[in-house]
């Protein structure tokens, strides 16, 4: 932090602007004043200030919306909300939206300066911790990326691809391609409850469990999922769980044997499908893994034919929201699959991702997005 902290004052009352500017300048602060919310947000989002003092009632864009938007964009500059409103609900809302402190007019100069010093002190302390935390998160993200498939086992009758786009730098979604037995391809999509570091650690345990038991049970996908449930339940708190889809594809017979534990419905689009309504649902038959000590050993088999498309995904794709709070939805996902199915699997997966990101626009993603698509040849 520089020796003269820079303060952005977003306030439109001329008398208060003059009073605060003189007060802060007398204490060695550099002050930049903006009188409207739109310009204030633009400057604040650049992250060049040490502290933001933010009024709520502003022309153009109110302080609540500014605070929410800054936190959504990842701006961590301390924010002190300054307003004539003193009701508890306004204080609670401001703090819930990401403000670090809240002071109501009229206020004493001594109290305001004390709150400013506290906010800057916390920022300095958090900055030191944040450097180390950021380094650890970068390392964790690199490790997590290496857990995702680095190669695709060769197949004669299946063209397949996948992606995982975490909402944060690390996440709880996971997909995998593995070879449980000769002539077999394992397809995995899992979604661990929660986000961030804890979800990533649990995701790694699901990865290890599937990789360990898949070669033991071959195409018995239900046995693999049931064993994963047992180990996950023993190793985690009761409130943690994961949804899991595990399918085994036979490269000769084109048969898919799958087990789904509480996971988002997978879809099969037959060669003649022309609309989402023509697609077959591959539904879950058990609870997510980790909720109970045991789940039934359940699996289902489906015969696939050349020209069929399989899509397996996490709920972050259909649940993706745009600025109108409209979900992308499973229907849009299937429409995108059918619209682009003349491409290869990699092309379809990237086309779907592009359509989801276009739908979301500038909204910050709130959940990881994972997808596997596969075309039977």
Inter-residue contact 91 to 50 (CB < 8 Å): no
Query: Is the model more confident about 123 or about 214?
Result: 214
The last residue of one of the domains, among 139, 158, 177, is 139
pLDDT mean over 61-67: 89
pLDDT-derived band at 137 (thresholds 50, 70, 90) equals low
- What distance in Å separates the CA atoms of residue 110 and residue 266, rounded to the nearest whole number? 61
pLDDT of residue 273: 92
pLDDT at 49 over 70: yes
Under DSSP, the state recorded for 288 is P
Residue 219 lies in a domain: yes
pLDDT at 354 over 90: yes
pLDDT of residue 240: 85
354 shares its domain with 234 = yes
Q: Mean pLDDT lowest for which of 21-25, 57-61, 199-203, 361-365?
A: 361-365
- What distance in Å separates the CA atoms of residue 309 and residue 267, rounded to the nearest whole number? 8
15 shares its domain with 76 = yes
pTM to 2 decimal places: 0.67
- Residue among 262, 247, 267, 244 at smallest CA distance from 330: 267
pLDDT-derived band at 191 (thresholds 50, 70, 90) equals very high
Residue 133 lies in a domain: yes
Residue 142, number of CB atoms within 10 A of its CB: 11
Residue 178 lies in a domain: yes
Sign of CA dihedral 105, 109, 110, 113: positive
pLDDT at 130 over 60: no
CA dist 262 → 204, 208, 244, 292 (Å): 19, 20, 7, 12
Structurally, how many domains does the chain consist of?
2
341 shares its domain with 206 = yes
Q: Mean pLDDT lowest for which of 90-99, 178-187, 240-249, 336-345?
A: 90-99
Q: Which bin fits 261, alpha (ψ -120 to 50), beta or left (φ > 0)?
A: beta
165 shares its domain with 308 = yes
Residue 251 lies in a domain: yes
pLDDT mean over 260-274: 93
Inter-residue contact 360 to 322 (CB < 8 Å): yes
Q: Which domain holds residue 130?
A: 6-139
pLDDT of residue 226: 96
pLDDT at 131 over 70: no
pLDDT mean over 22-33: 92
23 shares its domain with 76 = yes
Q: Tell me the pLDDT tens digit for each residue of 232-258.
A: 998 888 778 999 999 999 999 999 999
293 shares its domain with 323 = yes
Inter-residue contact 153 to 374 (CB < 8 Å): no
- What distance in Å separates the CA atoms of residue 341 and residue 347, rounded to the nearest whole number? 9
pLDDT mean over 9-18: 92
Residue 1 lies in a domain: no
Residue 349 lies in a domain: yes
CATH of residue 269's domain is 3.60.40.10
- What distance in Å separates the CA atoms of residue 167 and residue 193, rounded to the nearest whole number? 13
- Residue among 122, 178, 170 at smallest CA distance from 144: 170
CATH of residue 23's domain is 3.40.50.2300
pLDDT at 157 over 90: yes
pLDDT mean over 162-188: 90
Collect all residues with Cβ–Cβ distance below 8 Å to 208 and sequence separation of at least 6.
none
pLDDT of residue 1: 43
Q: Mean pLDDT lowest for which of 89-98, 252-261, 275-284, 342-351?
A: 89-98
pLDDT at 110 over 80: yes
180 shares its domain with 83 = no
16 shares its domain with 61 = yes
The last residue of one of the domains, among 139, 158, 174, is 139
188 shares its domain with 239 = yes
pLDDT of residue 136: 58
133 shares its domain with 205 = no
Residue 348 lies in a domain: yes
Q: Mean pLDDT lowest for which of 16-30, 191-205, 303-317?
A: 191-205
The last residue of one of the domains, among 95, 117, 139, is 139
- Residue among 277, 280, 278 at smallest CA distance from 268: 280
pLDDT mean over 141-159: 86
pLDDT mean over 117-139: 66
- Residue among 4, 55, 1 at smallest CA distance from 30: 4
pLDDT of residue 150: 87
- Residue among 145, 144, 162 at smallest CA distance from 153: 162
Query: What average pLDDT does the chain have?
Result: 88
Query: Is the model more confident about 92 or about 241?
Result: 241
162 shares its domain with 94 = no
Q: Tell me the pLDDT tens digit for each residue of 332-349.
A: 999 999 999 999 999 999
- Residue among 144, 151, 172, 142 at smallest CA distance from 314: 172
pLDDT at 117 over 50: yes
Residue 62 lies in a domain: yes
pLDDT of residue 83: 74
153 shares its domain with 135 = no
């Amino acid at each position: 932090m520089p020796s003269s902290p820079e303060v952005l004052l977003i306030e439109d009352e001329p008398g208060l602007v003059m009073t605060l500017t003189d007060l802060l300048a007398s204490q060695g602060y550099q002050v930049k004043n903006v009188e409207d919310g739109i310009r204030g947000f633009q400057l604040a989002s650049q992250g060049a200030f040490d502290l933001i003092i933010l009024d709520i009632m502003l022309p153009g864009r109110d302080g609540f919306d500014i605070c929410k938007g800054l936190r959504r964009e990842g701006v961590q500059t301390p924010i002190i909300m300054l307003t004539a409103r003193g009701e508890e609900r306004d204080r609670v809302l401001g703090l819930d939206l990401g403000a670090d402190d809240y002071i109501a007019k009229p206020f004493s100069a001594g109290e305001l300066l004390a709150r400013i010093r506290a906010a800057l002190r916390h920022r300095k302390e958090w900055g030191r911790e944040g450097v180390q935390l950021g380094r650890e998160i970068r390392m964790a993200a690199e490790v997590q990326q290496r857990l995702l498939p680095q190669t695709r086992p060769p197949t004669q009758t299946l063209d397949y691809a996948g992606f995982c786009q975490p909402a944060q730098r690390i996440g709880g979604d996971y997909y995998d391609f593995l070879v449980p037995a000769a002539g077999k391809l394992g397809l995995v999509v899992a979604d661990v409850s929660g986000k961030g570091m804890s979800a990533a650690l649990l995701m790694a345990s699901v990865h290890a469990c599937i990789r360990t038991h898949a070669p033991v049970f071959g195409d018995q996908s239900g046995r693999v999922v049931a064993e994963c449930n047992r180990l996950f339940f023993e190793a985690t708190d009761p409130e943690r769980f994961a949804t899991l889809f595990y399918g085994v594809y036979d490269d000769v017979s084109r048969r898919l044997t799958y087990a789904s534990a509480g996971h988002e419905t997978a879809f099969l689009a037959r060669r003649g499908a022309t609309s989402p309504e023509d697609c077959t649902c591959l539904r879950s038959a058990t609870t997510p893994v980790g909720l109970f000590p045991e789940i039934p050993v359940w699996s289902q088999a489906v015969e696939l034919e050349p020209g069929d498309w399989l899509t397996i995904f996490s709920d972050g794709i259909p649940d993706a929201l745009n600025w109108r709070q409209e979900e992308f939805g499973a229907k849009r996902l299937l429409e995108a699959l059918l619209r682009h199915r003349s491409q290869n699997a990699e092309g379809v997966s990237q086309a779907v991702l592009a359509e989801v990101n276009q739908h979301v626009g500038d909204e910050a993603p709130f959940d990881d997005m994972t997808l596997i698509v596969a075309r039977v040849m």
